Structure formats: structure tokens, C-alpha cells
């Protein structure tokens, strides 16, 4: 006579505990994969259609409103930034929504303060892209200095300015 093995039924609390552990493990895996976005190899940016800006880093975006730079920046953004910052700069949650980068400037009424705000935002953007962002040893954004020249970085900023959450 054959014996049939039976599986003891799980008590509801035990089942909930196993389900909770599985959900936690999936969340941990997703967070680990999201944290690995800093290891992606940057794609080259063809800036040959743009004027050369020289050796010294500019303090403000010299390509603001430049249609050729916006075109280059759109391509560069899609190849290098969208995987974390979202398509069309609309964040999917991994990294900040870059359409909101200079919202504070858009609502500033005083022209001199607005100009200073824009300059500060340009500096923040340039510094962040060049040097990246880390927190507690974890790479949140890789540094792009040495990979992107300033023409590439400023063209990306020119593109982002066309995607502002609050237009000027």
C-alpha cells in the first residue's frame, strides 16, 4: 500500500509571515537594483554641432535657449539621464524630478534675485553632474566629469530648461 505524504496546512499567521518576508525580499531586491544605477556606463555625447566653450568651466549656462544645444541635450539626456530621472525629465521615483530644478527661480518676481537664483541653480547643476552624489558611501549619481565635456553638460541643462515645471 502506498502512503501519501501530506503537507501540514499553514496557520493563517504563518502564511502572513511568509508572505511578508517574500514582499520584503522583493522590495530589498528592487532597492538593490535601483541603487546600482550608478554603475551604468555613460554614453558618448556628440557636441560637434555646438560652439566650443574652452577649458575653463562656465558659471552659467551659455546654451540657454540655443535650439542646437537643446537638440543635443535631448539626446544626451535620453541616453544618460532618463534611466534614473525619467523620460522627458519626469521622475519615476529613483531620482529627483528635474523639471522642478529651478521652480524657486520661476516664482521670484525681482529680476536681480531671479538672475542670482538662475546662476545658483546653474552652479548646483554643474557641480552635481561633474562630481555626482554619494551618501554614506552609496553612489546616488555617478560623476560625469571626464566623461562629459562642458558642452554636453550645458546642452543637457538647456534641454531641461525646456521641460520646466513652472516656466519663466
Q: What is the DSSP string of 109-134?
A: -SHHHHHHHHHHHHHHHHHHHHH-EE
Q: How far apart are CA 104 and CA 110, in angstroms?
A: 12
Mean pLDDT of 125-132: 96
Give the pLDDT confidence score for residue 36 in this predicted structure.
44
Residue pLDDT, tens place only, 76-123:
999 999 999 999 888 877 899 999 988 999 899 999 999 999 999 999
Residue pLDDT, tens place only, 46-78:
999 999 999 999 999 999 999 999 999 999 999
What is the chain's mean pLDDT, rounded?
83
Mean pLDDT of 135-159: 94
Give the pLDDT confidence score for residue 2 in this predicted structure.
58
Q: Is the pLDDT of residue 13 over 90?
A: no
Query: Among residues 35, 31, 29, 28, which one has the least CA distance to residue 142?
Result: 35
Q: Record the pTM.
A: 0.74
Q: Confidence class of residue 17 from pLDDT cuts 50, 70 and 90?
A: low
Neighbours of 112 (CB within 10 A): 8
C-alpha dihedral (63, 67, 73, 74), degrees to nearest 10: 150
Q: Confidence class of residue 14 from pLDDT cuts 50, 70 and 90?
A: low
Give the pLDDT confidence score for residue 25 in this predicted structure.
46
Q: Confidence class of residue 166 from pLDDT cuts 50, 70 and 90?
A: confident
Give the pLDDT confidence score for residue 165 in this predicted structure.
85
Mean pLDDT of 14-34: 50
Mention every residue, 6+ apart, whose C-beta is less than 8 A from residue 151: 45, 47, 50, 51, 52, 53, 63, 69, 72
Query: Among residues 136, 167, 152, 143, which one has the least CA distance to residue 39?
Result: 143
Q: How far apart are CA 121 and CA 102, in angstroms?
A: 6
Give the pLDDT confidence score for residue 15 in this predicted structure.
55
DSSP string, 50-65: S----SSPPSS-TTTT
Amino acid at each position: 500500500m502506498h502512503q501519501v505524504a501530506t503537507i501540514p496546512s499553514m496557520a493563517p499567521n504563518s502564511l502572513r509571515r511568509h508572505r511578508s518576508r517574500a514582499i520584503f525580499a522583493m522590495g530589498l531586491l528592487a532597492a538593490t537594483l535601483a541603487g546600482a544605477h550608478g554603475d551604468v556606463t555613460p554614453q558618448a555625447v556628440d557636441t560637434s554641432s555646438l560652439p566650443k566653450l574652452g577649458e575653463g568651466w562656465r558659471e552659467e549656462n551659455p546654451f540657454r535657449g540655443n535650439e542646437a544645444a537643446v537638440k543635443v541635450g535631448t539626446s544626451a539626456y535620453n541616453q544618460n539621464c532618463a534611466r534614473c530621472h525619467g523620460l522627458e525629465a519626469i521622475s519615476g521615483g529613483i531620482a529627483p524630478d528635474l523639471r522642478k530644478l529651478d521652480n524657486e527661480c520661476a516664482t521670484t518676481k525681482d529680476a536681480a534675485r531671479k538672475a542670482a537664483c538662475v546662476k545658483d541653480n546653474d552652479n548646483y547643476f554643474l557641480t552635481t553632474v561633474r562630481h555626482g552624489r554619494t551618501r554614506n558611501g552609496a553612489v546616488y549619481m555617478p560623476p560625469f566629469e571626464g566623461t562629459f565635456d562642458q558642452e554636453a553638460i550645458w546642452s543637457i541643462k538647456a534641454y531641461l530648461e525646456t521641460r520646466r515645471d513652472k516656466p519663466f
